[in-house]
Structure 1
Amino acid sequence: MIRLIIALFLLCKPVHAAQEQVVLGLSQDRVSITADFDGSEILIFGAVKREAPIPDGPPLEVIVSVVGPSEPVTVRRKERRFGIWVNTDSILVDLAPSFYAVATSAPFSQVLTNTEDLRHRVSIGRAIRSVGADMNVEGAQNFAEAVIRIRENEGLYSIRENTVAVDEQTLFRTSIDMPADLTEGDYLARIFLTRAGQVVSQFETTIDVRKVGLERFLYNMSRQQPVWYGLMSLVIAISAGWGASTAFRLLREK
């Protein structure tokens, strides 16, 4: 009897989750940071693979997110004391992405329910993990909101609604602008297919962001040989100052 009930349950489950899958493409899966790097645009496109006709009911929606490497961030609160601004409270945000962009095919509230957002951590607020704070610190959540607000102003965090084009509930495409001051590492690209706010399929891939050429050499030296890096920087600064002084003196003599 129990086996019969389980079999009936499996037969009654919606099958569109297994029938709709993402087939993804990227304009580039590697971003090279050079000395003259001023940003990049990643074109993300794909199709929906089906084993059955398009299901009836709510239309298919698409969410695309690109997440940069995460790291702890210490946020401090400043208050005016005795005529000067001083740090009073501080909170460690456990993990905050260095870059976070979300593109949707419709308003965010329509493409994903709060429950699904909580499960998959898609919105910016959900992407930042819980805040570690002393119980005596008031308004702890405001510190995480401050991180979001600052990085939104810097162009590092963004939610772009209605920017994913979906054709015939099968083909989709969008572009993600990546700023010049990218953090090096693996960027996770996630694609969600949803119906009525429920995730029916998802796909993940990575975009490799690395420094190359002279930028790579200087970065490695600053981390692996800081003493030599400091000496080299000092020599370059002295040489540049001497060269500028000599050129200025020659110009005056003429």
Structure 2
Amino acid sequence: MRVLAFAFALLCALPALAEEVVLGLSSDQVSINTNFDGSEILIFGAVKREEAILDDPRLQVIVTVAGPSRPITVRRKEKRFGIWVNTDAVEVDHAPSFYAVASSTLLGLALSNTEDLRYKVSIPRAIRSVGAPQNILDSKNFTNALIRIKSKSNQYQLNEGTVSVDEQTLFRTAIELPAALTEGDYLTRIFLTRGGEVVSKYETSIYVRKVGVERWLFRLSRENALIYGFMSLAIAIAAGWGASAIFSIFRR
């Protein structure tokens, strides 16, 4: 009883959150079908307070959306004897398939390095690479190469100054999802910061799922790989025969 009483007293002594997020999403589900060419998710919300609004430092809002993570092998190519060949390789242990960061100001102003290290907000912090071979001294360059490649395909995004904050209470932003999405749960986080320090955090998920024929083929490839392989072979043979027949008709 004394332990329970002490725990209750300690809990009551903790300060209540002065500011917290009330979030809304234009949609919490994204369906991938044959016509899917990308989507845009509107993220909006408000700040609930128990105290008066502080003017200094001003409230900043950071939004992150992260797709499912998996290991990725990054290879370096070098030209030897006139041929490009793979030389060194580094396996990145943890890399999100999609990652977007949106902030109400420059990310470096909205979040300190210490808080970034704690919450893994920036793109480099969201990637974990600790298993580089000992003979590779520039393993960081492999991570930078991965970020550069993913950024070109719009799968990694840094959108500074795109979160609108009205009266330090209402906020909104839009995250563009590219066509090449991995199926899974996309963790969405909202951070409220003041002076670079996180004062509140909120998490939810956006669900990305294949539907229709894509969903059936995806499940077939995972659950009945042999049947999927034979079906793919049959389709390839039929397509080749059809193309040959059409070409023969035009030759005549």
Considering the TM-score relative to the shorter chain, is it more than 0.5? yes
Is contact 1:131-1:140 (8 Å) kept? no
Query: Structure 1 residue 222 and structure 2 residue 226: aligned?
Result: no
1:22-101 aligned at under 5 Å gives the runs 22-101=21-100
The separation in 1 between residues aligned to 2:243 and 2:96, in whole angstroms, is 42
Which string of whole-angstrom CA distances, capped at 9 and with x for unpartnered residues, describes residues 137-178 of structure 1? 121111111111110111110110110000110000000000
Give the TM-score, by structure 2 length. 0.89
Partner of 2:57: helix, strand, or coil? coil
Give the aligned residue type for 1:128.
Answer: I
Corresponding residue of 2:146 = 147
Corresponding residue of 2:3 = none
Is contact 2:61-2:192 (8 Å) kept? yes
The separation in 2 between residues aligned to 1:252 and 1:145, in whole angstroms, is 52
Give the aligned residue type for 1:153.
Answer: K
The separation in 1 between residues aligned to 2:37 and 2:243, in whole angstroms, is 28
Is contact 1:131-1:144 (8 Å) kept? no
Give the aligned residue type for 1:85.
Answer: W
The separation in 2 between residues aligned to 1:236 and 1:28, in whole angstroms, is 36
Corresponding residue of 1:157 = 156
Q: Quick one: structure 1 residues 140 and 241, their matched pair in 2 at CA, closer, same or farther if it must change by over 3 Å?
A: closer
Return 52-61 or 66-75, whichever deviates more: 52-61
Query: Structure 1 residue 234 and structure 2 residue 233: aligned?
Result: yes
The separation in 1 between residues aligned to 2:249 and 2:84, in whole angstroms, is 48
Is contact 2:91-2:129 (8 Å) kept? no
Corresponding residue of 2:199 = 200
Is contact 2:102-2:158 (8 Å) kept? yes
Give unmatched runs, 5+ long, in structure 2: 1-8
The separation in 2 between residues aligned to 1:84 and 1:246, in whole angstroms, is 38
Is contact 1:105-1:165 (8 Å) kept? yes
Corresponding residue of 2:132 = 133
Return 236-245 or 120-129, whichever deviates more: 236-245
1:229 deviates by 1.1
The separation in 1 between residues aligned to 2:127 and 2:244, in whole angstroms, is 50
Partner of 1:204: helix, strand, or coil? strand
1:85 deviates by 2.3
Partner of 1:131: helix, strand, or coil? coil
The separation in 2 between residues aligned to 1:23 and 1:99, in whole angstroms, is 24
Corresponding residue of 1:211 = 210
What is the number of equivalent residue pairs in this alignment? 242
The separation in 2 between residues aligned to 1:233 and 1:154, in whole angstroms, is 28
The separation in 2 between residues aligned to 1:245 and 1:80, in whole angstroms, is 38
Is contact 2:33-2:210 (8 Å) kept? yes
Q: Quick one: structure 1 residues 58 and 91, their matched pair in 2 at CA, closer, same or farther if it must change by over 3 Å?
A: same
Is contact 2:104-2:162 (8 Å) kept? yes
The separation in 2 between residues aligned to 1:236 and 1:39, in whole angstroms, is 27
Partner of 2:17: helix, strand, or coil? helix
Identity %: 63
Q: Quick one: structure 1 residues 206 and 237, their matched pair in 2 at CA, closer, same or farther if it must change by over 3 Å?
A: same
Give the aligned residue type for 1:154.
Answer: S
The separation in 1 between residues aligned to 2:197 and 2:251, in whole angstroms, is 74
Give the TM-score, by structure 1 length. 0.89
Which string of whole-angstrom CA distances, capped at 9 and with x for unpartnered residues, describes residues 100-134 of structure 1? 00000011111111111111110001110133112
